[in-house]
Amino acid sequence: MTAGSRNRTRLVGLGLSALFVVLAGKAGYLALSPERSVSRHYSDGAENRLRADIVDRNGEQLATTVTVYSLVANPKQIWDPHEIASALSTVLPDIDVADLTEKMSDTSREFVWVKRSLTPRQREAVFKLGLEGLRFEEELSRIYPRGTLAGHVLGWTNIDGVGAGGVEYSMEDRLAKGGEPLRLTIDNGVQSAVEAELVSSAAADGFEGAAVILLEARTGEVRALASWPPFDPNRASETPMKDPSRLNRATGAVYELGSVFKPLTVAAALEAGAIGPSDVFNVRDPIELRGYSISDLHPIGATADVTRIITESSNIGTVHINEKLGPRRQQAFLELAGLLERAPVELAGSAAPILPERFDDLTAATASYGHGIAVSPMAFASAFASFANGGERVAPTLIFDETRKPEPVRVMSALTAEIVNTMMRKAVLDGTGRNAEVAGYRVAGKTGTAEKPVPGGYDDGRNISSFAAVFPYDSPQYALIVTLDDPKAGEGGSVASQNAAPTAGRIIERVAPLLGLAPRFEDVRPAGDRYRATPDERTSL
């Protein structure tokens, strides 16, 4: 071979080598370039499976889907898995180097997840490392632009975009099909106001947990549902399963709610004809039942009529009323009210009630004032809303549907509902619920302070405080329940009249204008004498 031929051969070889270097560099660049448009790992019809958005009743966005990038490795293209894993850990510190090294050492595989849903900054940092055998995969990820707002309602999706909690889970089939946004009944403005007041109450009352539900009584539509501690669905993967923020206390927890049950007991007795509104009962002497004594924490005198029993929250008077009703009719009424089963709302994990094994004289007596029977706030709110709907109960719903025709269940007559509302209005004006009164919006409601059950009895140092209300009293449209789990004794004490009632009042004051309710300031006080106010009763055996 001549010198010229050898030179030409060298030149060709150098040229081919340079070409391979350029092609390899280009391939590496394309593999990691943030700008490239890559094919999805799950590409079959991915664009047709875009998960539907979730919006509030006014169309404001609550959940949507965005494109994100995930980092994957091809073990067949990696020379030193440990070196790659160690380098990645410098920019992705949560990576388990040993575990990733083991996965990338398996050269029988061509696909290994390294990290899903990288942030733009993480993606750029990985790209700058210039490591072989890595590439970015384009994926779809669920985000919740309003953070914790309605977090317990929305729920979350898992890493593969499948619903794992809240309506994301319960409405999985509807959402996975894509299409039009799923429209909820909640109102972002109302929901935001409720959550803000719950945060404020948490700071003042130091409770362990809480739930608030606002229902439109005629339709059963949930206008707001909040549970505390708040939950951020954007951080679901980082939140331990046992974290208290994961529990939706509005639907997934049950409580002995105490004296908020008393209006239902009175309604049942009135509806059955067992008592009349003006009947008078002996409330001086404690009631002895099978070794237990039922009394009032604050004596209210020798006798009291039904209105005063509600206004001043007398356990003794309520048990006497329930004796006239009887356990069989009491149980039948609670069944009509939906309190013997879980609330039929569109959320998985709606909790079943804890009921007495049988309604005998003792369990019927304690259930009449909200002890010995534990229900979810949602189930109770649905039952209580019948006072704001002419005596009819409508199943609660979180899904907005203009074609939906509610099928109400008649719990009591409209007249009975009106009579009990009048009694509850007096309880707010003159009794235990007076801290819930809101000028112009005419609240009717009832406090409830129940000691928390413990093995062998009740803990008199820990309470469940609640306030249940309907408003406006003279033309009721909405029902509200506020439940606080173990509030600490603050300025006014740990009873509902000093924490749940004022929290409910502040919520109504904020949300009523948002609901389109105009204030009225003329006196609509129910007829009859005013009764003196007393602190809330603590119900216990």
Active-site positions read 259
Sequence-distant contacts of 92-99: CB under 8 A, at least 24 apart:
92/122, 92/125, 92/126
SS3 121: helix
Residues 6+ apart with CB under 8 A from 190: 214, 223, 224, 511, 514, 515
Give yes or no for a contact between 175 and 62, defined as CB atoms under 8 angstroms apart.
no
The dihedral of CA 308, 314, 320, 325: what is its sign?
A: positive
Rounded Cα distance, 461 and 449, in Å: 12
Query: Residue type at 47?
Result: E
**What single string gives the DSSP state of each residue in 410-465?**
E-S-HHHHHHHHHHHHHHHHHSTTGGG--TTT--EEEEEEEEEEETTEEEEEEEEE
- CA nearest neighbour of 205 among 535, 508, 499: 499
Cα–Cα distance between 185 and 60 in angstroms, integer? 11
Residue at token pair 């429209």? 183
Tokens of 450: 């129940």
Assigned token pair, 132: 């072989």
Q: Which helix (H) or strand (E) holds 262?
A: helix 262-272
- In this structure, what token pair is assigned to residue 30? 């394309």
